[in-house]
């Protein structure tokens, strides 16, 4: 898709903090993260919705692979996933969490999707390198 920011990242027209790439998928740090290590996993080919991606199971197995790398890279207690966002290109948000779930109530809790944080460019690159080194 011509105006899709994620398609432009795939083409190399826009830089990204890449953490994983193969012939089908690309994972990179979200530039408006909710937590350190907040990663987006996209198919390289443009699909509007996650459920439109062929081989849905492989897509989620790739997310699991990234999750395992996050668990090795960071002291994660759990990982959140969500599949909605402002960019109309299928993407899975993968958020490594290092805090306890507040009061055990996940549904409707701000603990599921915390507010955005600011991370400077050098720390973003450092996080990307750590993840890259731990994702197989």
Three-state SS for 30?
Answer: coil
91 as an active site residue: the answer is yes
Separation CA 81–CA 64 (nearest Å):
10
Instruction: State the catalytic residue, choosing from 89, 91, 93, 116.
Output: 91
73 within 8 A of 36, measured Cβ to Cβ: no
Sign for the pseudo-dihedral over CA of 98, 93, 33, 71: positive
- The DSSP-derived string for 67-118 is HHHHHHHS--SEEEEE---SSSS--EEEEEE-SPPGGG--TT-TTTSPPP--
Annotated catalytic sites, by residue? 91
């Amino acid at each position: 898709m011509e105006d899709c920011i994620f398609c432009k990242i795939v083409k190399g027209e826009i830089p990204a903090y890449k953490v994983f790439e193969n012939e089908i998928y690309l994972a990179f740090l979200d530039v408006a993260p909710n937590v350190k290590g907040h990663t987006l996993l996209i198919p390289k080919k443009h699909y509007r919705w996650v459920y439109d991606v062929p081989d849905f199971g492989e897509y989620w197995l790739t997310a699991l692979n990234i999750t395992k790398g996050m668990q090795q890279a960071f002291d994660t207690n759990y990982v959140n996933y969500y599949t909605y966002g402002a960019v109309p290109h299928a993407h899975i948000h993968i958020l490594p969490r290092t805090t306890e779930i507040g009061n055990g109530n996940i549904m409707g809790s701000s603990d599921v999707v915390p507010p955005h944080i600011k991370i400077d460019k050098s720390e973003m690159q450092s996080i990307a390198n750590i993840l890259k080194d731990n994702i197989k």
